[in-house]
Amino acid sequence: MPGTTLDALVVGNYCHDVLVQETGEVHTLGGSAAYISNVFEAVGVSHTVVAVAGEDFAYADRVRHPPRIVPGTRTTCFRADFHEGTRVLRVDARAEPIRSEDISCDARVAIACGVMGEVLPETLVALSRRAHHVIADTQSLLRALDAEGRVQNVPLARTPFADLLGHLHVLKASEEEARALDLDAVRARTCLVITRGERGCSVLTADATLEVPSVRVEEVDPTGAGDCHLAGFALGLLRGWSLARCAELANWFGAQAVTQVGVPRLDLTRLPPELR
C-alpha cells in the first residue's frame, strides 16, 4: 500500500507449527507475525504484515493480511518436541526471504520478527528508513540450523546484524538468546528487553536496568509468548509510554499467550485498568 502510513508494520513469515506432545501432534498456524498481528487486531492498531509463504500455505482463512506466495516453494514449518520437558525445535521446510523491495509503506513502529532468517540485513535497514521506531526479535538475527535441522543461536558478533544495532529502538531477547549477546555492547547502542518467563522481564539501557515482574497464569503452551510480549511492548511505544510501563503491558500480553495452544484468543476485559 504505497503512500500509506500505518501504526505498525509487522515483518516476518507465517509458518506451519507442529507441536509434538504426549497426547499426539497438534498442527496450527505459527510464526511471530501471526501472534503479533493477532494482538494488534484485538486492540485496533492499524497495521499490515509483510510475509512470504509457499504454495502449501494452509491457513489463508486464518490471516487477515495474506503473505506473498512464491510458486514452487514451501511454507516454513517448525516441529516443536516437548517430550523431554524442554522444547526442541526443528525446521522441516523454509520459505523464501523477505526482501527490501517488499517494504512498501511507512509506519510509526516496524517489528522485525523473522522466524528463520527471512529478515535480511538490507531489509532491516529498509525498515529503519520507513518507520519511526524499529523493534526486532533477537531470533530474527541469530537463528541457524545444525546438521540435524535443529534450531540454534549464532552469537550476534558473528552475524551481519552486529553492525546494525543503531537501526533499532528496541531489541527483545529470551534468556537463552541473551547468552549469545554481549549485553554491555548491545545496551550501549539500543534498548534491550530480556524476557524471563515467570520472573517477568528486564529492560536494559545504557543508563539503567529495570526489573518488571510477571503476570501469574497457568501455562499450557509457551509458544508465542515472546511474540505477544513484543506486540505489547510495541503497543506501549505507540501510546508514548515509558519503557517500564511498556514492559508491564508486554508482560500481560505475553502471559495470555501461554494459557492457550496456538494463536490465543484475547479477552481485553481482563486487562488491568491502569494498562488500558
Of 7, 5, 2, give the one whose Cα is nearest residue 231: 7
CA gap 66, 53 in Å, rounded: 9
Going from the C-alpha of 97 to that of each of 11, 73, 75, 82, 235, the distances in angstroms are 11, 12, 11, 28, 26
Q: Is 163 a catalytic residue?
A: no
* Catalytic position from the list 17, 102, 227, 267: 227
Query: Per-residue b/e over 167-196, b at no fewer than 16 CB within 10 Å?
Result: bbbbbbbbeebbebbeeeebbebbbbbbbb
Beta bridge partners of 88: 81
Name the residue with cell 497426547: 23
Could you tell me if 131 and 110 are in contact, meaning their C-beta atoms sit under 8 angstroms apart? yes
Give the single-character DSSP code of 215: P
Region at 69 (left for phi over 0; alpha for psi -120 to 50; beta for the rest): beta
Residues with a catalytic annotation lie at 227
